[in-house]
Amino acid sequence: MLNEPPTPAARERPPAASFLRGLAARSLLLLVAAISLNLLVDPFGVHGGRLFEPIVLRTRAPKLRLYEQARPAPAIVILGSSRSFSMEPQYVAARTSRRAFNAAVAGAGVRDYLDFARCMAARNSFPSMLIVAMGVEQATLDARAHERDDAMTDCLDPQKAFWERAQAYRGLVTLEETWASLRLLGLELTGRPAPAYSFGPDGMTRGPGTSRLRVEQAVDDSLAAAWAPSLFDRDRLDPRSVGQFRQVLELCREHGAKAIVYLPPYHPRALARYLKESHFASGRARLLEQLGSWAKEYPLRSYDFTEVNRFGGRDDMFEDASHPTEEANRRMLDIMLAGETQGHGLP
């Protein structure tokens, strides 16, 4: 009798309590596995693991580090978003005989310009000229991309840096970081492709570019996503962006620096839609009016390059709806730097 197999009734499904215990144990195991994976792989490079190169595009920390390493300190700094990535510092240097640096960062907002300007001031290396890209979207929205561990806090508020680093550990329990860990692990096993962007010592950012055959599709894709007309729904300048840029201009005046502000171009097809379907025209008008008003108070001049004919550009000088090519940037620089060729020589 002792060795008889259990009856069918005894082999019934497990009771609820043991099912729940099993479920809890499995859940805890999976959660601990996810957290451990994120700690080990550290896809965003914020937990200090450094087992692998981070997967995320970081532009702020690398650009700040490159700027600090640039010797002598650059006399001209370009501030902008990814739309200014291909503005060549070497071309600026050739036109002006002064060392230049491209400090454009991905998804930049006016707040990023202020942070970078403050960092330069804090390092006692404020340039003598800023070339700043101010898109209508940046002036009407107080929005920017966030990058973890962007090094700005180290520069501006060292006391806060520790707490911010501690906050980064919250990312360990996010789906986004777990997915990034898995992707990174997969790429490490199958072979990582070359990074999408690379930075030169002068901040020049080179990316994969868009094949000429795919540009029209890229314009459509970006118009359907991040660069849809709804980006220009507001016709008023954002007061925070205005306040932040005024602080940039104050820093310029304080350090005896000039500011050249330009409105970067949009692909003609995209611009046509923005003019028809959004408040782009009134946003642009208000921005130009504000820049004109600032020009009376600060050492500033501004250029409106939103339409390609304003700098002798063409439809084929774009990667997508909003990112101009190197050639387009050169043409804009030719106009902006026309009076700056009498340089002070390379320091």
Partner 1 sequence: MVFLSYSYLFLFLPGAVLLCRASVTRAALRTPALLLTGIVYYSLAAGLPQLALLLAMTFVTFKGVGELMTSPVASRQRLGLMVVVADLAVLAAFKLGEAGILGPVGRVLPLGISFYTFNLVSYGLDVRRRQTAPAPSFLSLAAFSTFFPTVAAGPLLRYGHFREQESGARRLDAELLELGALSLIVGLAKKTLVADPLGAAIEPLFADYERLGLDAWLAVTGYAYQLYFDFSGYTDMAIGAAALLGFRLPPNFNAPYTAVHITDFWQRWHMTMSQWFRDYLFLPLSRALLRRRPSLDGADGVRAVCLVFTMVVIGLWHGATWSFLAWGLFHGLLLAGHARLRLARGFSIPVGVSRALTFVAVLVGWVLLRSPSPGMAARIWGAMAGLHGWGASSLHSRGPLLAAVIVLLVATNAPLERYLLHAGRSAFRSWALAVLLVLALLSMGARRPFLYFQF
Interface residues toward partner 1, by CB under 8 A: 13-17, 19-20, 22-23, 26-27, 29-31, 34, 44, 55-57, 106-107, 143-148, 170-171, 173-178, 180, 183, 187, 192-193, 195-197, 220-221, 224-225, 228-230
Rounded CA-CA distance 300/89 in Å is: 20
Closest approach of Cβ 224 to partner 1, in Å? 6
Provide the sign of the torsion angle of the four alpha carbons 310, 312, 315, 320, taken in this order. negative
Nearer to partner 1, 88 or 149 (CB): 149
Measure Cα distances from 326 to 14, 317, 323 in Å. Answer: 68, 8, 10
Closest approach of Cβ 56 to partner 1, in Å? 6
Name the nearest CA neighbour of 49 among 133, 153, 168, 223.
168
Nearer to partner 1, 208 or 347 (CB): 208
Taking residue 253's Cβ as centre, other Cβ atoms within 10 Å add up to 14
Closest approach of Cβ 199 to partner 1, in Å? 12
Closest approach of Cβ 337 to partner 1, in Å? 30
Which of helix, strand or coil describes residue 140? helix
Nearer to partner 1, 99 or 148 (CB): 148
Taking residue 189's Cβ as centre, other Cβ atoms within 10 Å add up to 8
Rounded CA-CA distance 221/228 in Å is: 9
Rounded CA-CA distance 186/272 in Å is: 42
Name the nearest CA neighbour of 108 among 75, 79, 149, 150.
79
Nearer to partner 1, 2 or 17 (CB): 17
Nearer to partner 1, 177 or 202 (CB): 177
Closest approach of Cβ 44 to partner 1, in Å? 8
Residues 6+ apart with CB under 8 A from 330: 88, 91
Cis geometry, peptide bond prior to residue 72 (ω within 30 degrees of 0) = yes
Closest approach of Cβ 152 to partner 1, in Å? 15
Closest approach of Cβ 317 to partner 1, in Å? 23
Q: Are 89 and 49 in contact (CB under 8 A)?
A: no
Nearer to partner 1, 143 or 161 (CB): 143
Closest approach of Cβ 88 to partner 1, in Å? 22
Closest approach of Cβ 145 to partner 1, in Å? 4
What is the Rg, in whole angstroms, of the alpha carbon atoms belonging to the chain? 26
Nearer to partner 1, 30 or 122 (CB): 30
Nearer to partner 1, 55 or 73 (CB): 55
Residues 6+ apart with CB under 8 A from 62: 199
Nearer to partner 1, 162 or 179 (CB): 179
Q: Output the DSSP codes for 195-225.
A: PS-EE-TT--EE-----GGGHHHHHHHHHHT
